[in-house]
Amino acid sequence: MDTAIRDVHEGDLTFSTQPAEAGLELALEQQPGAIIDLVDQSGLKGCGGAGFPTARKWRLAAEQAADRRYVVCNADESEPGAFKDRVILERYPDLVLDGMTIAAWAIGATSGVIYLRGEYAFLRPALDDCIARRRSTGTLGLDVLGRDGFDFDVIIHLGAGAYVCGEESALLESLEGRRGHPRNRPPYPVRSGLHGKPTVVNNVETLAWVPCIISNGAGWFRSLGTAQSPGLKLFSISGDVDRPGVYELPMGTTIAALLDRVGGAGAKAVQVGGAAGICVPAEQFDRALTFEDVTASGAVIVFGPDRDMLQVAENFLEFFVAESCGQCTPCRIGNQRLLEGIRDIRRGQCSTDRLSGLLDLCETMRATSKCGLGQTSPNAFQSIIAAFPGDVVGRSAKSLTWVQEVRS
Amino acid sequence: MLVTDSDRLQADVVAIVDRHHRDRSALLTILEEIQHCQRAVTPFAQQVVADLLHLSPSQVASVVSFYGFLETQPRGRVVIRLCRTISCQMQGTQRIARQLENDFGIRFGETTPDGAVSLGWAHCLGMCDRGPAMLVDDHLYTEVTPEQVHTIVADARRAAGLPIH
């Protein structure tokens, strides 16, 4: 398969060529350990943004002595700019359930949960139908596909509007009926997860890739992408482009090549990884979308030449102030201070000392916040300030024009 | 015997909690169902849930206050949530917001005096390629234009059995 960008705008994803249940049938012909080895060889990493090797999660959960294990599908896609999981759940729910069932076979789990964000409640009826159909055809329930003793069933749990519940330990707290506060780690969910049992939490897309890898072989996935970021990845493209949507690209694609594909000529910057990601200015569009460089969840928002990037930063910080769970001080207070700062900057009322203090605060938040929310929320602020210093220093109070330009 | 409003509300809550076998780990689901049925999880409902699950009311309140979709006072019978994320904003959210405020005569965060409609913001609805997006109750609308606002809202009022003005 060629590694050039393929035109896979929604209708033409690998997922659309993968028959439902085909990967599951193949997987159940092999021993659980062999399945984990195969996923390991493929190099599949978590597609929710963190990029943790999937097979390592599975192996740790499988090795943990327990009377019960869980597979949880993280469908709490809440990152601003991310919508690929919504498309997968709408179009390919069988592949997600195939992936969950294969994971259950691999680690010895009997129960699965899809944690669906409340905003996606409209997807629930179709998912319920899919689960019911699979129960009736024997791909869920007792003795899945006739495998004696392999029982696995899935329920859907609806979230209620909380971004932080996408963090896996907060998600588990929410599943247990509490506030979505991230847990102290260790222990990690693979040792002590849902109800204290070993639990694998995988993103929707990660799970959907699993049956494709089983069907096409680990070598197929490994041969795509880069050495450290193998395989294909879905990207959610929005903003100032001619053809927004979900695209499938090999890892390692450059931002410039992506913009070429989606019709993003003239962009001044792209935000990669959603609000928690980083802003990449035009002069760095040769950077590659890989786990080792700028990709995270696969959300890419494109900004045309006339966009005010400080408005973008303010929008993201308003989001983080609202969505910080409030448990730890660096995140709860830090995001508020950054929001006040960006508003003062936009009004042209921020001294250089104040600005450097805010940038120090970013480092403090990154180092001391308890979970990924507070550790990544300063990213946009920092990278936008770094990329567009001319938009910050000497900013006019009245408009988006600069004092310097007005004088000249 | 006279059945009061609070008796009826209590019976509804008991039925929901019982349907989940009085299981503490089902608390969020229980609260979501109460929200759906009573349009809020009032302090009274929280107290009933706490008693049934052997929790303190503050434990229940802490969960209610955490989740954006749970309210302590009833909102309008139709709840409109407009996506405020940057991708939608770049596609014209502000014009939709202004038209909604004009059509209802209220600001975002408010409910119409007849209790019919609430206006609020949502964080990213995951429709960034088809913005502006908004939820009217559980119903999703994408690529909304200011001209469509009136029709969408009339549909919602009709579905909720409210008069259309």
- In chain B, where the domains are located: 5-66, 78-159
CA distance B102 to B104: 6
Distance between CA A394 and CA B82 in Å, rounded?
34
What residue of B is the nearest CA neighbor of A313? B86
A92: in domain: yes
What's the confidence (pLDDT) of residue B165?
60
What fold characterizes domain B78-159? Glutaredoxin (3.40.30)
Does A87 map to a domain?
yes
Residue A330 shares a structural domain with residue A216: no
Contact residues on chain B for A77, CB-CB shorter than 8 A? 126
Chosen domain end from A222, A242, A268 = A222
The answer to the question of residue A391 being in a domain is yes
Chain B positions touching A177 (Cβ under 8 A) are 24-30, 63
Is residue A117 domain-resident?
yes
- Which DSSP string do the residues of A134-160 spell out, in sequence order? HHHHTSSBSSGGG-TT--BEEEEEE--
Residue A342 lies in a domain: yes
CATH code, A136: 3.40.50.11540
pLDDT value for A406? 35
Cα A4 to Cα A250, A278, A291, B112: the distances in Å are: 8, 25, 18, 54
CB A297 within 8 A of CB A271: no
Q: How many helices (H) and strands (E) does chain A have?
A: 17, 9
Q: Which residue of A has its CA nearest to B66?
A: A179
Of A192, A222, A252, the last residue of a domain is: A222
- Sheet of B117-122: strands edge to edge? B117-122, B78-83, B134-136, B139-141
Residues in A 276-335 with any Cβ partner in B closer than 8 A: 299, 301, 303, 307, 311-312, 315-316, 318-319, 322-323, 325
Output the domain CATH number for residue A380. 1.20.1440.230
Instruction: Please report the number of interchain residue pairs, chain A to chain B, with beta-carbon separation below 8 angstroms.
Output: 120
Tell whether A41 and A143 lie within a shared domain. yes
The last residue of one of the domains, among A171, A200, A222, is A222
Pairing, β A269-272 against β A232-239: unpaired
Same domain assignment for residues A62 and A194: yes
Low-confidence ranges of chain A (pLDDT < 50): 1-8, 10, 398-408
Q: What is the ipTM of this complex?
A: 0.93
- Pairwise CA distance, residues A115 & A96, whole Å: 12
Single-letter amino acid code for the residue at A356: S
Q: Domains in chain A: how many in total?
A: 2
Round to whole Å and give the CA distance between A63 and A45.
Answer: 19
Domain that residue A348 falls in: 309-407
Query: Do A210 and A313 lie in a common domain?
Result: no
CA distance A397 to A406: 12
For residue A353, the tally of other CB atoms under 10 A from its CB is 8
- The pLDDT averaged over each successive group of 10 residues in chain B (165 residues) is 81 96 95 94 97 97 96 91 96 95 93 91 94 92 93 83 73
For residue B18, how many other CB atoms are within 10 A of its CB?
A: 11
Distances from the Cα of A338 to the Cα of A79, A387, B69, angstroms: 19, 17, 26
Task: Compute the half-sphere exposure of residue A224: CA atoms within 13 Å on the CB side of its CA.
Answer: 23
